[in-house]
Structure 1
């Protein structure tokens, strides 16, 4: 009765554990870390001895639970290292050789983690010294396998001299064990041992053992030796690689097709490391043979055609084909390394046909892997990236959405390389080098939309925000922008709708035609903001949030401020609630005194909500929002240090918007001037040059303001000369410094006009 709750729990758990009831005992041991956190001293005194006794006769599940609990206690540092070693280490060592392999491995994993924190003296007396007898041939195979793994871990805890004197003799003995399992296990630990003893001892002790094991009669031992040699290539010097390791690799490659397919799988996986580690050592003939070997692996299994269906193929043949698929998948994984091996300049002659085969492989895992590598391949080819345009289209049109999903992870970067890395000029490359790109992109989106994999669809829509860098404004408007509207209006998955909304905002920001911009803005307001479905009105508020983030404050205030706050009168509570959450961001777009009238309208709407709102949930949010709005400080037109950085960013956005507007005006004026004096072709080229110059200027302004299209923050454009209702400051003149945020607006416009007049005079003079 005098026991505390913790003591009672400890007594109860100890009784259950001692009773040997597996279900209750497992539960007790699972709670051991909790007891250790609450009262470690009492748990060690009363519970742990009973747990130790219970484990002697425990079943597999309780043993596995105990191994995990002991590891958790170590990781949580519930007790000191000294106390842990004293209380838990012997229990762990006792169960290392459990007859069940799963239990033995679980305790071994716990021990390997314990070795990381134990001091050298404890390691030497409690683990290393007993290991001498445990590694003897008289012990069981399981005991010797455990010894191999412990030796591999111990080498990181002792100096090279101690390893040479105490550990290496055991290592040599286990490398020559009569059981191939033990030799293979010890061979795989030689990499850790080599890192612990340094280069000289590795060359004199480890390398000879590896060479001998590479000739072992057991295939698993030879495979372990080969993989360890590959992983240790960086340690050895050029002489060792060329005279000792290269012959082993050569022999391995020559015999691999006659051996088990598992060797081919390992060899194909390590080809990249081999190319890197042996680079510069191959003779021209060896280089060619190795390349041909790789090409042969890339098509392994494809030549064997038969007329049987899958049900008629013998099981062993099916298993062999699965291994061949894995080999080709590994070859696809190593393809970038092979480009470096042959030099990107030789890609077309040496590797293009292989790349074509991998992109058209009949198995999805192979195409999936090459799709993942496509960006790396594009970077390596650099100016030769135009060589793989067709393969990009092929993968975009792949019937498997897994392949498409892998490709679109780096789609913006790939398209940027495609549009700027070719031999033709940037402007021509954007429009002419990828003729099938737009149909492939639209088809990919439609396939993703028709599937149940909405995350792939969402990701694809997010990546489409890069398209203004690659294709023309008209192509985006007619082939993609309208599709974004459709998705926003009809798709049933919210993340997909939001992705479409954000991408649409990017398209709008980069659109260079006034009438198209106005049409999009009007659609957003009428079909979403004033739509019949409350779901559409919710999406309008999402779009407003993206516009606040992407565009300048003046753009939002001019077109979307009033339509947004009008939704305070919405009949659906969820819409009013969402608007309340958005109101602080809406207020942040205002500048005083220019937007004083908008601030008054905002305050009036909030007062109406406070007075007239009947929904208790909405009213609670309104009250919290009012407090937040009251705490907000307004950005003033005059200089204020606390708003300086944000205002600079906003001014940069406005400046970019004005630049795009000027580009549109300049395009129109120039086209009119040249259409009377020059044939269509030359005039169009001059217009393209001037437009390209302005685009470069915009891209330069991105760098200065920290804005990047890759981050889905691109320059916007809007016209003050519009039929849409204006709701903000400076609506009479878009060149007003309050809108432009730049003092050099008028001089820039004057310069553009002067440029046009001078060009006209020159034409008149030459005409």
Structure 2
């Protein structure tokens, strides 16, 4: 390179930086490639910068990854589509690197560059590159070829297409499992661009062979291709060509293959249901639900609900009740808690099944899981309770579920109690005030003195929702007496909880605030614990906008004046903040 040419100075500077031992400096230099290319112009970029990069590619993986990404965005910097083929040599070198992420990024950039070739240049430059990579001596090269055959195929001439199909066949039958894995991954991509006749004659046999591969890491990648092939082929071909391989995968000796079928089951259902009898898919579902591997059962259990929802509406209820729920019931005694936890979502089928079927089939399952030793199972059941309530009604709820709910509300696991608390407002709306007061009221008030802060906090917000539902009179007769007791409790944490309750109740009703809540707050202003006193100041600040001027002056301002002179710095601060708000209130 002519170092006396000032126009090449940016490239000369780049060369020096890339010789530096500091990896971060070299990485930053590579990230500036587009700026350098813009500075030297398209001619120098093509004739000097790109050849330099091609000849000197050898660096840390992080630097090479950045280079591969940059080159994919270089089309305009080398003069546009007519000259884009000059980017192929450095990207080809990067596509043969040992590090997978570098190769993958190079392939991604090659796909971008390929889309910008005209047809003539594609066949002249890009196809030979795909051929070299696909037949290279090292498996790293051939894995990159797997990801480019379909890119070339979708724009190739009728003369080149047979050659590309032959190349892909060789990759699918490669002696190296790593190559076959990538080929299996790209089956779907090629299936979407290949002609139907060649899909059946060329790709399906490869698909079947890969589904029988000796390595399970290859076989599990074929599962996703089942759905893609099914969307293209007619029902008879799906039955003859695809379903045998899917059934084989669902019963594979490797649990990882069966697990893949379980995780992809809803996608497979959507692709296959219109092309194959529903009961064929139900048979696979049964097989997976009875699998001897825990992870497989857990994966398919999480998909049961969606599978049922996707069934044809005409036969949906019958299939669920007759063919699916019996198998689900068998899993209620599963030894693994994740399997049972995932099955809780089946309760969301109650709107489909209706009241009678819900009571007959789902309710017994629900009650059984509510008694499960595992708190996570009980927790997930509770979180799905709302849809059952919508179907079975209050009478059945009070008879069958309420005893279990009361038991869970006192569960030793705080997360279970927490889930019940969040559900209480909905339950209260369904039970009505009188029934709630009789069955659950004392329980709700007990949560205010729970030893776990998260429970006490959740209980305060639940109280606000209950007041909104049942009104001010209910609050004064039921809630305020409890708060008065808490305000006098020896445990300062409960006195703090009392203030937290008042904070969330303030907005419920202004009459309650003036008549019942304010006196409780004022009574705590002389508390011996500073944390309580500064929370009094904060609560008074929140109460102020809800009070008449006369009440503020008579009952609140004297308390704040005294708190401003408190010995505790935090109490002084929050009292001063509250005092500062008074002038704006008038």
Q: How would you bin the TM-score normalised by the shorter chain? A: 0.7 to 0.9
Alignment partner of 1:495 out of 454, 466, 469:
454
2:5 alignment counterpart? none
Label 1:110 to 1:539 Cα distance change in 2 as closer, same or farther (>3 A): farther
Instruction: List per-residue Cα deviations over 1:285-319 (Å, max 9, x = no partner).
Output: x5555534432432233xxxxxxxxxxxxxxxxxx
Gaps in structure 2 of 5+ consecutive residues: 1-11, 41-48
Q: CA RMSD in A?
A: 4.7
SS in 2 for 1:489: coil
Corresponding residue of 2:184: 187
From 340, 345, 364, give the equivalent of 2:337: 364
Describe the SS at the equivalent of 2:364: helix
Aligned to 1:142: 140
Residue 413 of structure 2: aligned partner = 448
Q: Specify the SS of the correspondent of 1:421.
A: helix
TM-score, normalised to structure 2, is 0.75
1:612 aligns with 2:572: no
Displacement after TM superposition at 1:438 (Å): 2.9
- Which position in structure 1 is the counterpart of 2:510? 553
Q: Are residue 173 (structure 1) and residue 167 (structure 2) matched? A: yes
Contact 1:268 1:297 in 2 (8 A): yes
Q: Give the drift of 1:598.
A: 2.6
Say which of 458, 468, 491 aligns to 1:533: 491
| Contact 1:359-1:391 within 8 A present in 2 as well | yes
1:218 to 207, 213, 227: 213
Structure 2 residue matching 1:218: 3-state secondary structure: coil
The normalised TM-score by structure 1 is 0.59
User: Judging changes above 3 Å, is the alpha-carbon distance between structure 1 residues 170 and 403 closer, same or farther for their aligned structure 2 residues?
Assistant: farther
In the TM superposition, residue 26 of structure 1 has moved relative to its aligned partner by: 4.6
The equivalent position to 2:425 in structure 1, one of 465, 485, 496, is 465
In structure 2, what is the equivalent of residue 743 of structure 1? none
Map of 1:603-682 to 2, 5 A cutoff? 604-605=557-558, 608-609=561-562, 611-631=564-584
Q: Distance in 2 between matches of 1:71 and 1:464?
A: 56
Deviations 1:310-352 (A, max 9, x none): xxxxxxxxxxxxxx22332233133225432651144333222
State yes or no: 1:416 paired with 2:395.
no
Task: Output aligned runs, 1:46-85, within 5 Å.
Answer: 62-63=60-61, 65-66=62-63, 82=77
Provide the rounded CA distance (Å) in 1 between the counterparts of 2:529 and 2:14.
56
Query: Counterpart in 1 of 2:346?
Result: 374
| Deviation per residue, 1:170-215 (Å, 9 max, x gap) | 35522343316434422322333455x4xxx553444544421233
Counterpart CA distance in 1 for 2:236 and 2:523 is 81
Over 3 Å counting, the alpha-carbon distance change for 1:554 and 1:188 in structure 2 is same
Pairing 1:299–2:269 present: no
Please state how far the C-alpha of 1:367 moved relative to its aligned partner. Answer: 1.4
- Uncovered stretches (5+) of structure 1, i.e. residues with no partner: 1-10, 302-323, 635-767
Which of these residues, 227, 230, 247, is aligned with residue 230 of structure 1?
A: 227
Q: Cα deviations across residues 351-375 of structure 1 (Å, max 9, x unaligned)?
A: 221121123222223212212x235
1:84-483 to 2 correspondence within 5 Å? 94-99=93-98, 103=99, 105-111=100-106, 114=109, 120-121=115-116, 128=126, 131-150=129-148, 154=151, 161=155, 169-170=163-164, 172-177=166-171, 178-179=173-174, 181=177, 182-194=179-191, 197=193, 201=194, 203-216=196-209, 218=213, 223-233=220-230, 235-236=231-232, 240-252=233-245, 255=248, 259-261=252-254, 262-279=256-273, 281-282=275-276, 287-288=278-279, 290-301=281-292, 324-339=293-308, 340=311, 343-371=316-344, 373-383=345-355, 384-386=357-359, 387-408=361-382, 411=383, 414-422=384-392, 426-432=393-399, 435-440=400-405, 442-443=407-408, 446-449=411-414, 458-471=418-431, 473=433, 476-477=436-437, 480-483=440-443
* Cα separation, 2, equivalents of 1:168 and 1:31: 44
User: 2: distance between equivalents of 1:32 and 1:618?
Assistant: 56
Distance 1:348 1:631, change over 3 A: same
Give the Cα–Cα distance (whole angstroms) in 1 for the partners of residues 494 and 88 of structure 2: 64
* Map of 1:320 onto structure 2: none
Look up the SS of the partner of 1:135 in the other structure: helix
Judging changes above 3 Å, is the alpha-carbon distance between structure 1 residues 568 and 253 closer, same or farther for their aligned structure 2 residues?
same
Is the 8 Å Cα contact of residues 187 and 225 (structure 1) preserved in structure 2? yes
| Aligned residue-pair number | 545
Specify whether residues 574 and 274 from structure 1 end up closer, same or farther in structure 2 by C-alpha distance, changes over 3 A only. same
Alpha-carbon distance change, 73 to 448 in structure 1, aligned in 2, over 3 angstroms: farther
1:11-39 CA distance string (max 9 Å, x none): 9999997464xxxx455567779x969x9
Checking the alignment, whether the CA contact within 8 Å between 2:354 and 2:391 is kept in structure 1 is: yes
8 Å contact kept, 2:521–2:540: no
1:598 match: 551
Q: Distance in 2 between matches of 1:169 and 1:555?
A: 84
TM-superposed CA distance for 1:446, in Å, is 1.0
* SS of match in other structure, 2:116: helix
Q: Distance in 2 between matches of 1:12 and 1:621?
A: 60
Q: Give the match for residue 6 of structure 2.
A: none
Q: What is the SS of the residue equivalent to 2:134?
A: coil
Secondary structure in structure 2 of the residue aligned to 1:186: helix
Provide the rounded CA distance (Å) in 2 between the counterparts of 1:163 and 1:560. Answer: 83
Structure-2 residue corresponding to 1:739: none
- For 2:545 and 2:157, locate their aligned partners in 1 and report how far apart those are by CA, in whole Å: 67
Distance 1:218 1:468 in 2: 58
Q: Contact between 2:107 and 2:144, CA under 8 Å: does it hold in 1?
A: no
Instruction: Tell me what 2:45 maps to.
Output: none
Q: 1:184–1:269: structure 2 CA closer, same or farther, 3 Å change rule?
A: same
